[in-house]
Amino acid sequence: MSPDLPPVAPSVTAELVEALSPRLRKRLDAGIARLAARPVVREGDLVRIAVDDETDVVLHAQGGTVSRADAIRCGCLLAPDCLHRAAAASVAPVAADAPVAEEAPVAEDAPAAQDRPATRSVDPGDPDAAPAGAHAGVTPAPAPAEGATVEQRAAARAVHAAAAAVLEAGTDGAGAVLQAELLRAAHTARLAGLPRAAAAAISVVTGVRAARSADPAYRLTDLVAALAATLGITRRVPHATGAELAELRGTVRQPYRPDGSLRLYGLFSEPVLTATGYAGVVTWTADAEGRLYTVSDVAPGGPARATGAADRAVRLGDTALTHRELSRAGLAVSGATVSPTGRLGAGAGVRAVRAAGAAWRAEPLDRLWSAPAAEQVARALNDGQDLLFLEVTLLGSVRESTGDCLLADCAGVPLRLVAAHDDPSLPYRDNLRLLAAARGSRLRIVARLVPGTPPRALLLATEHPTDPDARVDAGLDRLQRADLPADAVQDPPDTLPAGDEAPLHLLRRRVHQAVSGGRRVLALSASPHGEAGDGARLRRLGLATAGDVLDDLYSTAAVRSRDAFGRLLPSDAAPFARAWLAAAVCADAIERALCAGAWGAAADTASASGLLTHR
């Protein structure tokens, strides 16, 4: 996947791949690899890829997106039925399809179209792309009482089958043809009024492309989560009704509702840099009651936009504040419109002016840190508000297999703080290394919970190590050695001994292995059954359900039918996908429960187990 190319609509990629002859389809993956290495030149809305010295592929990205098949042209002799057009579409980032009117029903009292967000902030992999942190003051539109339509049930089954085929093959075997089938199914689901399933499917394609291209931003855990969401949502849609169906359908655009006048106080800003080619910044604010609101500026772009957007003006009312300034100042808003996730709209009737900010240790922001850590973690695990406002004592750095992390004490809980993004253009990791030298410093921080054990969180913002009235946005502000206490010493990272933890990795690694290598690799690596198997080990340690679903995953992966002559018959991907989904959901539920136990919180695993309600 090349970030230099404009996003291409899923329907375009599916159409071009489907038009290829069987012979060219076999050569498509090799053609994509060759085209990805060719130079790219952008001329306004036109992007040229030099196939060779005499032939170019031209993508016409009107409005920044390639939305029609005829917008991709090639100068070779075989055009328009050549391999180059399909390869160009397959190597480009995936764009969101154009919205369909009936996809996003909005309540009658919702604001008009001009009350959309100030800057387009939609990641193609997530139609509700605002960062986690639901805004409790907005009520969603009433849920329909009827079940899914015939078209929706058919679309859900098509997405499920295409996603199961990708799982069957694994990232190593899910080439452009399988990706195109999933993109076509996603487009059909969006037209049928299932934007959430479509977005999840597009996230799977994006993750598979990142894995196959060795993209440094690729994360296997993200792909596993996207695939589990796709399979889980599409399994439930044909059987769901009422509020459950409304949740599974999702919306293309979030409805914005009037919220009167707001007095907001800046908290921090965080850069956004996605694998789908979107970048920018999100600024978090809070009102006097502690409710969180966001102002975002996210659009197609790369690392330069992620770092530069913080110094762009906030497009909200009459204010000239930049995002960096807003994170430390305040905002008075009248005629505000707010989405269900707390994102502020910027309609013609919205007025906003600069106001005084507040320090983290002063009212009203001080109340955010007054809630016990266990209570905040329980909220993050149960309600989706994953920001943690913690007061910690820095203890140094710890070496892990994935890199060094910052160790801190949070009310007796040993907390590991890790970088929120590994891109070298963002100062997350450098700031963590410097903070590790400030041992003994007691700081207030804002972090995002990472479920699992030992307790772990992504560091987003922190108080300045030597200036209690200042704060540092970990992804935007770069600390210097002079910012540390005078007695700061940079010691080598400690290596902590492994603790006695539940062996969840026995289940988790097989779930991940299936996504990477496909069903065949999992069948070959299956552990022996009986008392010596991984399933038996999990049961002996009290994880009976995990042991059972792991044995079922192994058994399902190994089952292949043969004909009368002993030849392998085409496999049925559905049973394996069902067994894999059960293992993924079980591992997630156990991980959440272990995370809650490590923090002394209470977790509700109903949201995870709900994926398997209709087995």
Q: H/E/C letters for each residue in 177-214? A: HHHHHHHHHHHHHHHCCCHHHHHHHHHHHHHHHHHHCC
Residue 569 three-state SS: coil
**Last residue of some domain: 207, 231, 249?**
249
Backbone angles phi, psi at 418, to 5 degrees: -125, 165
The pLDDT value recorded for residue 360 is 96
Nearest to 254 by CA among 110, 102, 97: 110
CA dist 285 and 323 (Å) reads 11
**Measured over all CA atoms, what is the biggest interatomic distance in the chain, rounded to whole angstroms?**
80
CA dist 39 and 41 (Å) reads 7
| Contacts of 196 by beta carbon, 8 Å cutoff, 6+ apart | 127, 233, 248, 249, 250, 251
- Please give the tally of structural domains in the chain: 4
**Last residue of some domain: 67, 90, 113?**
90
Same domain for 386 and 469? Answer: yes
CA dist 181 and 179 (Å) reads 5
Order of strands, sheet of 56-60, starting from the edge strand that comes earlier in the sequence: 40-43, 46-50, 56-60, 72-74
Residue 18 three-state SS: helix
Same domain for 80 and 150? Answer: no
Residue 258 three-state SS: strand
Which amino acid belongs to residue 109? D
Domain that holds residue 414: 365-483
Residue 320 lies in a domain: no
Residue 423 lies in a domain: yes
Residue 591 lies in a domain: yes
Residue 337 lies in a domain: no
In 37-138, which residue ranges form alpha helices assigned H by DSSP? 83-91
Enter the DSSP assignment of 131: P
Residue 268 lies in a domain: no
Residue 478 lies in a domain: yes
| Contacts of 572 by beta carbon, 8 Å cutoff, 6+ apart | none
Same domain for 528 and 466? Answer: no
The pLDDT value recorded for residue 531 is 57
Angle between helices 83-91 and 10-18 (to 10 degrees): 150
Residue 109 lies in a domain: no
Same domain for 437 and 517? Answer: no
Same domain for 380 and 467? Answer: yes
Same domain for 509 and 453? Answer: no
What is the CA 416 to chain-centroid distance, rounded? 21
By the 8 A CB rule, do 28 and 83 touch? yes
Same domain for 448 and 389? Answer: yes
* Whole-prediction pTM: 0.83
Same domain for 476 and 509? Answer: no
The pLDDT value recorded for residue 117 is 34
Which amino acid belongs to residue 403? G
Question: 414: exposed, middle or buried (C-beta count within 10 Å: 0-12, 13-18, 19+)?
Answer: middle
Residue 580 lies in a domain: yes
- The beta-carbon contacts of 522-530 under 8 Å, at least 24 apart in sequence, are 522/553, 522/554, 522/557, 523/554, 523/557, 523/558, 526/554, 526/557, 526/558, 527/554, 529/554
Same domain for 453 and 518? Answer: no
pLDDT tens for 509-544 read 999 999 999 998 888 776 665 556 888 889 988 889
Instruction: List the chain residues with pLDDT less than 50.
Output: 98-143, 497-500, 605-615
The pLDDT value recorded for residue 329 is 94
Same domain for 228 and 170? Answer: yes
- Cross-strand pairs, 330: 265, 355
Same domain for 79 and 165? Answer: no
Same domain for 161 and 241? Answer: yes
**Last residue of some domain: 451, 483, 515?**
483
- The beta-carbon contacts of 353-359 under 8 Å, at least 24 apart in sequence, are 353/317, 353/318, 353/319, 354/319, 354/320, 354/321, 354/329, 354/330, 355/263, 355/264, 355/329, 355/330, 355/331, 356/329, 356/330, 357/265, 357/266, 357/328, 357/329, 357/330, 358/265, 358/330, 359/469
The pLDDT value recorded for residue 145 is 54
Please give the structure tokens belonging to residue 243.
Answer: 């509020």
In 214-262, which residue ranges form alpha helices assigned H by DSSP? 220-236, 242-249
